[in-house]
A and B are shown apart, each in its own frame.
Chain A
Amino acid sequence: MIPTPDLSHLKQEDYLSIYEPAEDTFVLLDALEQDADEIKSLRPLICLEVGSGSGCVSGFIGSILGPYNSLFLTTDINPHASLCTLRTGRQNKIPLEPLTAHLVTPLLPRLHHSVDILIFNPPYVPTYDSEAIDAQSQGDIRGAWAGGKDGMQVTDLLLEQVDDLLSDKGRFYLVAVKQNDIAGIQARMLQTYNLLSEVVLQRRAGREHLFVIRIHR
C-alpha cells in the first residue's frame, strides 16, 4: 500500500481554485498502484501529467518510481494549480517540474516519442460546449471538470497528441466516465493510431461510473 501524498500544505482557499482530490483521483491512484511493479520495471525516464491540479497524482507516481529515477513534468492551465503542484512536490520530497500551459503544446516537438508515462485525469463531465471553452480560457476551477459535448472536448485534443508523445514503451493512463463512451475511445485510438488499450480499473462513485484506461503501442 503506497501512501497517498501528503496534501496538508493545501488549504480550503487553495481548493476554491484548484481541484480537491476526489473519487476520480483515487481510482487513478489505485490503477497506478495496481500497475506499480510494471511501471517500475519499465524504468521510465520521462513522466508527464497533464492537468496536475493539486499535484497529488504526480506525487504518487514519484513515490512509486523514486524521486531521482525519472523526470516528473506536469502541466496545468491554471497557474495556481501549477504552484500547488510545486508545493506538493516539495512537501513529499519528489522534484516535480510544473509548467502552466494548455495541454502539452510547448513540449512538442521536443517530447516527440519521448514520454514513458503519460497521465491525464481530464475535465470529463458532459456540459454545454460554451461552458467548457469558457472554463479552459479562464483557467479556473470549472476547467477541472467541464468537458463539453460528451465530456470529451478537452480529452479529444490530447488524444490527438498521444501517438506523437508516447515512447515505444510508453503508457498513457486516462480517466473517463461512462458518458465519454469508453469503447468508442478505445476503438478510435486503435483505428486512427494503432494504439492498444485496456480498462485497468473501473468503479462506481456516486452518480459516476469511472474508468481508468491504459493506452500503449
Chain B
Amino acid sequence: MVRLISHNLLACHAKGCTSNNFPLQFKDVTVELREQESNPDFLKNIMPRLEWKALVGAARQLGDTSLPEEMPEMLDDEFLKNLHHVLFEIHVEEGAMVCPNCQHVYPILNGIPNMLLAEHEIS
C-alpha cells in the first residue's frame, strides 16, 4: 500500500532528471482509508525526516486538509492524530505518480508503485 510516508521519500530518477523531481504529483488515484494503531513516539521521531511542504501538498491532493502549512512547534494530541492519519491511514491503491519535471509516469497498481524505468530512461 503506498501511503504518504513512502510518497514523501520517493523522487523521480529518470536520466537527467535531477531538479524539481520531488515530490511526485498524484494522478487519477483511488484511495482507501484504513485505520492503524498510532505510535506518538514514532511520529515525533520521524518528523525531522519529513519534507513538510511535500507532505501537506500530497495530503491536500488526496483531499485531506488537516495539516498546517508549517510544521508546528507544539505537538499536541490533535496534531499528532492528524499527522498519524495522513502518514499511515490513507492508502493509494491505484493511479499514478507523475514527475513535475520530466513528466515520467510511475503507475500504482494494487497499492504498489512501480518505480522501474524503461531502458532509455536509465542514467
Contacts and interface: CB of A to CB of B under 8 A. Distances in A.
A71 B46 contact: yes
A101 B116 contact: yes
Contacts of A82: 112
Which of B38, B46, B113 has the most chain A CB atoms closer than 10 A to its own CB? Answer: B113
A159 B51 CA distance: 27
Given A110-B11, A114-B49, A68 B42 contact: yes
A105 interface: yes
B33 interface: no
B84 to A, nearest CB: 10
A75 B11 CA distance: 14
Nearest to A139: B116
B37 interface: yes
A45 B13 CA distance: 24
B105 to A, nearest CB: 13
A99 B115 contact: yes
Interface residues of B, number: 33
B4 to A, nearest CB: 11
B116 A77 contact: yes
A73 B113 CA distance: 12
A92 interface: no
Given A46-B49, A86-B111, A95-B88, A110 B1 contact: no
Contacts of A106: 10-13, 106, 115
A75 B22 CA distance: 19
Interface of B is mostly: loop
Contacts of B10: 99, 106-107, 110
A95 B42 contact: no
A98 interface: yes
A45 B42 contact: yes
A150 B107 CA distance: 35
Contact of B49 (A45, A73, A109, A139): A45
Given A45-B45, A70-B42, A99-B115, A109 B11 contact: yes
25 contacts: A45-B45, A46-B49, A68-B39, A69-B39, A69-B42, A70-B42, A71-B5, A71-B46, A73-B6, A73-B9, A77-B116, A83-B110, A86-B112, A97-B1, A97-B2, A97-B5, A98-B112, A100-B113, A100-B116, A102-B115, A102-B116, A105-B13, A106-B10, A106-B11, A110-B9
Given A97-B2, A110-B51, 8 more contacts: A45-B49, A86-B112, A95-B1, A97-B5, A105-B13, A106-B12, A110-B11, A114-B49
Q: Report the 4 A-B pairs with minimum CB-CB distance, sorted nearest first.
A: A101-B115, A106-B115, A68-B39, A110-B9
